[in-house]
Amino acid sequence: MKMTGIRLSWTGLLKAAVLLAAATVGGLAFQQLGLASANILMIYILCVQLIALWSGGWLYAALSSFAGMILYNYFFTEPRFTLRVYDPDYPMTFIVMVAVSFITTALTLRIKNQAAEADERAYRTGVLLETSEKLQKVERTGEILRTAAEQLYKLSGCPAAVYEPDGQGGLRLTRIYPESAGERAVPEQLEDLRALYWVWENNRCAGRSTKRFPEADALYLAIGGREHALAVIGLSLSEKISEKRGKGPVERNLLLAVADQCGLALEKEKLNREKQEAEVQAQKESLRANLLRSISHDLRTPLTSISGNAGILLESAASLGEKQKETLYKNIKEDAGWLISLVENLLSITRMEEGALTLHLETELVEDVIQEAVKHLDSRAKEREISWETEEELLLARMDARLIVQVLVNILNNAVRYTPPGSHIRLRVGREGKRILWEIADDGPGIAPEDQEKIFEIFYTGGNVGSDGRRGLGLGLALCRAIVMAHGGQIGVRPASPHGAVFWFTLQSAEVQYNG
């Protein structure tokens, strides 16, 4: 902290006069009590120290020392109430009094300044540590720059304006901290504009209190990356918010340290974003590779079967009986239906992943949706006993009926595919609070515990093989999960008793609105 020591104010002089008057009254009291003159001198020396400590200036201390000497001479030396002295020792006493006052004042001011500097260092250190902690917690660019502006304001006491790239080779003002500063935080003179773009292009600081563009009203700090500036923050030093911060080399170095921390945080955020993008791209490539691998492996069987059956019909149709032809036709139809179902799932899940599939939510009657789904089941469903029931006659739910039909078809066809002929498959729908709970239970072999949490992942098939010996691509249940979650519902599976599996999912319930 700097000592003013030069400026005087009427308020300060009045306070000093009050303290000196109090010291004089105290001296008179000491004299009435018969105490030695040295004690009265101590009162004046103490008064001068208090004035120096309170004012923080040498001029107040000097004036108080001389005023105290005159008051002591006037009230407490013979002849009293005059400025003359009879004792030849008094001049030396006065000199010693003033010297002691000056020495003690100097020590008092030094201690006060050291304490103030220690407080300032502690404050700066606290701001730097706080900056580091805050930057570790934020991740987005906007949050990082806002934190930097806030911390720079705390260090400098001056409004901070943040400038970011506008995508066209220029800069745009994105935020001001504090917001109450408004236009006062944005200098408008040409020198500031030149300093701003020089900092942006050279990734260094410039502006007020620097050697480059010193006539600018603001100090501009580059929020720099490894190669170039990522943003610029301008501190409007022309607005004198604080006497002690923002202008000296030490303060400027602290501001640069905060700017560097912010630059490192932005660089880290950029690297994390690039890493995430690379991981997403790698995941897409992996999904694509898995899809091609699965298609090339699992589609070969139905395609070979269709081709072989068609070849037999073309080459040996005349020698085949009607029952044999019907069997071949049936096999071709089943394999073609399986391929069609696969393609539909592929198209639907692709649209889901790309966000191109939009929901058309309407209030639908659950019974109608179930009946529509049963019409589209695999032909082998006739070999199983499929039943359904609803708790209420008019049970309504909010849904995109076309997509929920696809969910039911996928789950029911899975139950058909992985259960032997003659199995029972039961669909039950009821109300559960504000949700509609759908449950599809079968009495087949069930699902292994280690597979229950994974079967809704894309391309996961586990060790299950259908009753026809054919393994799926792991798309149907992944699509079901995507559709149900898009509806705001949940989906899962649990073991059935005594054996089998129960697939369940929830949708939002709906009420009938009556007008009249």
**pLDDT tens digit string along 386-408?**
999 998 878 999 998 988 988 99
Q: Quote the CA–CA distance of 369 and 479 in Å, as a whole number.
A: 18
pLDDT score recorded for residue 155: 78
Q: What is the DSSP letter of 466?
A: -
* Token duo for residue 334: 């089943």
Left if phi > 0, otherwise alpha if psi is -120 to 50, otherwise beta: which for 469? left
State if pTM tops 0.95: no
Give percent above pLDDT 70 in the chain: 80
Residue 301 has pLDDT above 80, yes or no: no
Give percent above pLDDT 90 in the chain: 12
Residue 356 has pLDDT above 50, yes or no: yes
Q: Quote the CA–CA distance of 237 and 184 in Å, as a whole number.
A: 11
pLDDT score recorded for residue 441: 94
Q: Quote the CA–CA distance of 137 and 139 in Å, as a whole number.
A: 7
Cβ within 8 Å of residue 95, ≥6 positions away: none
Mean pLDDT of the chain: 78
The four Cα atoms 46, 48, 54, 60 give a dihedral, to 10 degrees, of 180
Residue 355 has pLDDT above 80, yes or no: no
Average pLDDT score over residue span 41-63: 71
Residue 465 has pLDDT above 60, yes or no: no
Residue 369 has pLDDT above 90, yes or no: yes
Higher local confidence (pLDDT), 106 or 309: 309
pLDDT score recorded for residue 462: 59
pLDDT score recorded for residue 66: 74
* Token duo for residue 409: 């078809």
Q: Quote the CA–CA distance of 224 and 460 in Å, as a whole number.
A: 46
pLDDT score recorded for residue 57: 62
Q: Are strands 491-495 and 206-207 parallel, antiparallel or unpaired?
A: unpaired
pLDDT score recorded for residue 6: 47
Which of the residue ranges 53-62, 163-172, 335-344 would you say has the lowest mean pLDDT?
Answer: 53-62
* Banded model confidence at residue 430, pLDDT cuts 50, 70, 90: very high
Average pLDDT score over residue span 291-314: 75
Average pLDDT score over residue span 290-308: 71
According to DSSP, the residues that pair with 438 across neighbouring strands are 429, 505
Residue 4 has pLDDT above 60, yes or no: no
pLDDT score recorded for residue 340: 77
Average pLDDT score over residue span 48-63: 69
Residue 291 has pLDDT above 70, yes or no: no
pLDDT score recorded for residue 412: 92
pLDDT score recorded for residue 42: 78
Average pLDDT score over residue span 480-493: 89
If you average pLDDT over each of 130-139, 248-257, 357-366, which comes out highest? Answer: 357-366
* Banded model confidence at residue 474, pLDDT cuts 50, 70, 90: low
Higher local confidence (pLDDT), 242 or 499: 499
Which of the residue ranges 108-122, 133-147, 368-382, 475-489 would you say has the lowest mean pLDDT?
Answer: 108-122
Average pLDDT score over residue span 377-385: 84
